[in-house]
Structure 1
Amino acid sequence: MDKKFILTSFAYAIAGLTLGIFMAATKNHGQLVTHTHILLIGFVMSFIYALCHKLWLDKINSRLAKLQYYLHQLGTLGVVIGLFLFYGNFVALEAVDPLLALSSITVLIALILMKVLFIQTLKK
C-alpha cells in the first residue's frame, strides 16, 4: 500500500505544481483554492499515508487498507474536480456543492479508516 500511496502522491504533486505554474504564467490565480487542495489532500495526505504504511502498517494489504486507499482517492478527486469547476466559473456553487460535501466526507471517512488500521495493529 505504501507504493500505491507514494505514486499517487507524486501524481498529485505534479498536477498541483503544474496548475500553480499555469496560474503564475497567466497571472490568473483564480484556482488557488483548487491548487491548495490538490497539494494538501492529494499530495501531502497521500504522502503521509505512504509513510504510515511503510513505517507502521508494513505488509497490511487487507480489504480495509484497500478501501481506505480508494476512498481517499475518490474523495480527493471529487473535491479537486468540484473546486476546479466552481473556481473556474464553469458551474454555480449550488450545482457543485453536493459533490464537494460528499467528497469531503469521503476524505474524512478515509482518515477515520486510517486510524482504525492503526488501532488494529495495536491489538496484534
Structure 2
Amino acid sequence: MTLDRRFLLCGFAYAIAGMGLGIYMAASHNHTLFVAHAHILLVGFVVSFIYALVHKLWLVGAPARLAVLQFYLHQLATLGLTVGLVLLYAGVFPESTLAPLLGPMSVGVLIAVVLMAWLVIR
C-alpha cells in the first residue's frame, strides 16, 4: 500500500474518532474533552490528509526509508498525544503522570513535520 493511501486511511480513522468524540460531547453536554477532540481532528485527520496529498502530488519518488520513518513517527506520536490528552482531560491521570508521555509525543509530531518539510525540499 502506498504512503499516500496509508496517510489517507489513518486520517479517516482519526476523523471518525474525533467526530465520534464530538458527538459524545454534544450528547452528554460535557465538553471537557474539547482539547483532545481538536487535536484528534487537526493533528490526526487534517495533517494526515495533507500528508496524503503531499505524497500523492509531490513525493512520488521520495526516499522510501525516510518517508516510511516519517509516516510511522507521525502516526505513533499523534496516537500517543491524542490518547494522552483524552486521559488527561477525562481526569483519568494527573498531568504530572502524563507529562512524560505528552512532551515526547508533541516533539515527535514536530519532528514528523520537519521530516515532511525535508522530503518536500529535497
- TM category (shorter chain) comes to over 0.9
TM-score (structure 2 length as normaliser)? 0.95
Instruction: Determine the structure 2 residue equivalent to 1:40.
Output: 42
Instruction: Determine the structure 1 residue equivalent to 2:62.
Output: 60
Alignment of 1:4-43 (within 5 A): 4-43=6-45
Number of residue-to-residue matches in the alignment: 120
Which one of the candidate residues 83, 100, 105 is aligned to 1:103?
105
4+ residue segments displaced more than 4 Å: none
Counterpart amino acid of residue 19 in structure 2: L
Q: In the aligned structure 2, how far is the partner of 1:14 from the partner of 1:74?
A: 18
Q: How high is the sequence identity, in percent, across the aligned residues?
A: 56
Give 1:46 deviation, angstroms: 0.2
Post-superposition CA distance 1:49-75 (Å, at most 9, x none): 000001111243600000000000011
Structure 2 residue matching 1:90: 3-state secondary structure:
coil
Instruction: Determine the structure 2 residue equivalent to 1:89.
Output: 91
Q: In the aligned structure 2, how far is the partner of 1:61 from the partner of 1:7?
A: 21
Counterpart amino acid of residue 22 in structure 1: Y
Note the residue ranges of structure 1 that are not aligned, 5 or more in a row: none
Q: In the aligned structure 1, how far is the partner of 2:91 from the partner of 2:61?
A: 44
TM-score (structure 1 length as normaliser)? 0.94
Structure 1 residue matching 2:41: 3-state secondary structure:
helix
Instruction: Determine the structure 1 residue equivalent to 2:80.
Output: 78
